[in-house]
A and B are shown apart, each in its own frame.
Chain A
Amino acid sequence: MSLCEAEKTFVLHGVEENFRVDGREREDYRPMELETDIVSHAFGSARLRLANTDVLVAVKIEVDAPFPERPYEGKLDFFVDCSANATPDFEGRGGEELAVQISNALSSAYRSPNVFDLRKLCILKGKKCWKLYVDILLLECGGNLFDAVSLAVKAALWNTQVPLVKQVDIDGNNINLDVSDSLSDCQRMDVEKAPIMVTVCKIGERCVVDPNAAEEKCSVGSVVVAVAGRKISTVLQTGTGSLHPVTLLECLTLGVKIAQRLDTALWDTLRQIKPNQDVGFLK
């Protein structure tokens, strides 16, 4: 998207007046839609639509060996795929840079054991653990990807059912896992503290949240804050431009405030989801 000078000024003045192009205030989000269990053959999945931004997340689980230095922990792997459906710029390897940026931000946000407990994914110390592949597919980009992705990931992890291991037989070096076949035996994961990322975008002299594609173009710099519970787990500065330390601190405070609001909204939504709801693209 390219904007001319006049359009940029319009956006800038709107932000200054606390009345943005689409009628929102500076701290408002666009409407969101959340669906879970959308990929039937994955262990957990979610689709989040934030206005024009569309993200599909699926979680697949495999058995793997834990890292030697962390024998008690399972593994969590993020993979972002920027589909060319979103924009022709992502064709071929075009989306790789953005994909790596998002997946790195996610893995650093989930790294702390206080945020997401990987020890629950351990099956047998040092030998076997579950590896969670969190695959994120960007279907449409309408700005504010980090927030949308982190919300969708949290919902997908909430939806994930880890198979129950009934018995582990060790025969020499062979390890046989007896995994329960019953679907009702699956265990849910604790995602109470899973981080939510908020992009705080500085436009002119003010900070806004949930910028759309046009506003992202006008920003002088933005800060992505990953908030878990009441604490910050990752801070990431994206885009060009520099921020004054005082502004940066303001951004962080705003980010934490907004993230807590978002978290409450997410849990409210997740609680309302009933099993066997009608989901999908056909709706």
Chain B
Amino acid sequence: MSRSKELISKIGLRLDGRRANELRRIRCKLGVFTEPDGSAYLEQGLTKVLAAVYGPHQVRNRSKAQHDTAIVNCQFSMAVFSTNERKRRPRGDRKSTELSMHLQQALLAVIKTELYPWSQIDVYVEVLHADGGIYPACVNAATLALIDAGIPIKEYVCACTASLANNDIPMLDISHQEEVMGGPTLTVAALPISGKIVLMEMSQRFHLDHLQKVLEKALQGCRDIKQILDEAVRLHVRDVGCSTGWANTS
């Protein structure tokens, strides 16, 4: 394990100068585009993601329509220039298909689909810069876009990655550099208010004894992200409200 030792230095700093329990800087904006019903832009460190939501609208493929719920359609795509090495195709490869499915799984858990029978909700995410933790950034951006579109959701769904450094220190929000250096990565999508886990995925291996503390760290990350997103939503609503004049009443 000589390689993973370098992940955290003796004084407790990581490669990019963060501490083990610190997230990368998250900056986000709701309503970046006018054409979609809801859109959001989210930056997590250098990872940059755009999300757009269309719907609820009539189901495009009639045979897929459900009489009791709405169908949620997700498409994940990465700009060809998003990675250091230029990609050949923006979507359609296995990794994108897998991420689309995982995204759909996370969003289905929170959207109140039963309110929209015979309809469809489209969620499209586009990665502009991939620098580790693509899936969490996509989930967080999609949540914001859903809120911007005004689609009822049960609560925020947030995702975060965590890893284990030096074989005993759990650390939060893994960057691309740290992913490449090795060490296991645990990705968790959770509902931070009720504390439920929607999706958990792990790559590589670590001992079962460590799982509890890494998972706890990831959930803590989800709660922190929820705080940041919530603040952004409140600011956005206030801004929109100001322009319509109802901010004066308070």
A81 touches B29 (CB 8 A): no
Task: Report if A282-B29 is in contact (Cβ < 8 Å); known contacts: A91-B124, A137-B126.
Answer: yes
The yes or no answer to A29 lying at the interface (CB within 8 A) is: no
Q: Give Cα A137 to B232, complex, Å.
A: 27
Chain A residues in 8 Å Cβ range of B128 = 39, 56, 137
B35 touches A281 (CB 8 A): no
Chain A residues in 8 Å Cβ range of B52 = 84-85
A39 touches B129 (CB 8 A): yes
Q: Give Cα A52 to B32, complex, Å.
A: 11
What distance in Å separates the Cβ of A45 from its nearest Cβ neighbour in chain B? 8
Q: Give Cα A279 to B46, complex, Å.
A: 14
Q: Give Cα A86 to B32, complex, Å.
A: 12
The residue in chain A whose Cβ has the minimal distance to the Cβ of B79 is A137
- From DSSP, what is the main secondary structure of chain A's interface residues? loop
The number of inter-chain residue pairs (CB within 8 angstroms) is: 86
**B35 touches which of A41, A60, A92, A140 (Cβ 8 Å):** A140
The residue in chain B whose Cβ has the minimal distance to the Cβ of A49 is B33
Chain B residues in 8 Å Cβ range of A86 = 35
A281 touches B80 (CB 8 A): no
Q: Give Cα A85 to B77, complex, Å.
A: 10
Task: Give the size range of B's interface with the partner.
Answer: 20 to 34
A141 touches B35 (CB 8 A): yes
**B41 touches which of A45, A83, A281 (Cβ 8 Å):** A281
Q: Give Cα A40 to B122, complex, Å.
A: 29
Chain B residues in 8 Å Cβ range of A85 = 33, 36, 39, 50-52, 124, 126
Q: Give Cα A41 to B27, complex, Å.
A: 19
Chain A residues in 8 Å Cβ range of B48 = 281
**A81 touches which of B33, B51, B60, B79 (Cβ 8 Å):** B79
A81 touches B124 (CB 8 A): no
Task: Report if A83-B124 is in contact (Cβ < 8 Å); known contacts: A139-B50, A282-B41.
Answer: yes
What distance in Å separates the Cβ of A158 from its nearest Cβ neighbour in chain B? 17
The yes or no answer to A54 lying at the interface (CB within 8 A) is: yes
The residue in chain B whose Cβ has the minimal distance to the Cβ of A61 is B86
A79 touches B80 (CB 8 A): yes
The yes or no answer to A88 lying at the interface (CB within 8 A) is: yes
A139 touches B33 (CB 8 A): yes
Tell which of B28, B41, B51, B128 has the most Cβ of chain A within 10 Å.
Answer: B128
The yes or no answer to B75 lying at the interface (CB within 8 A) is: yes
Which residues of A from 145 to 197 have beta carbons under 8 Å from B? Answer: none
The residue in chain B whose Cβ has the minimal distance to the Cβ of A79 is B80
Which residues of A from 55 to 86 have beta carbons under 8 Å from B? Answer: 56, 58, 60, 62, 79, 81, 83-86
Which residues of B from 73 to 103 have beta carbons under 8 Å from A? Answer: 73, 75, 77, 79-81, 84, 86, 90, 92
Please list the residues of chain A having a beta carbon within 8 angstroms of any beta carbon in chain B.
39-42, 45, 52, 54, 56, 58, 60, 62, 79, 81, 83-88, 91-93, 133, 135, 137, 139-142, 281-282
Known interface pairs A39-B129, A85-B39, A139-B33; 16 further A-B residue pairs with C-beta atoms within 8 A, sorted by A's residue number? A39-B128, A52-B35, A60-B81, A83-B77, A83-B126, A84-B52, A84-B122, A84-B124, A87-B35, A88-B54, A91-B75, A91-B122, A92-B75, A92-B92, A281-B48, A282-B27
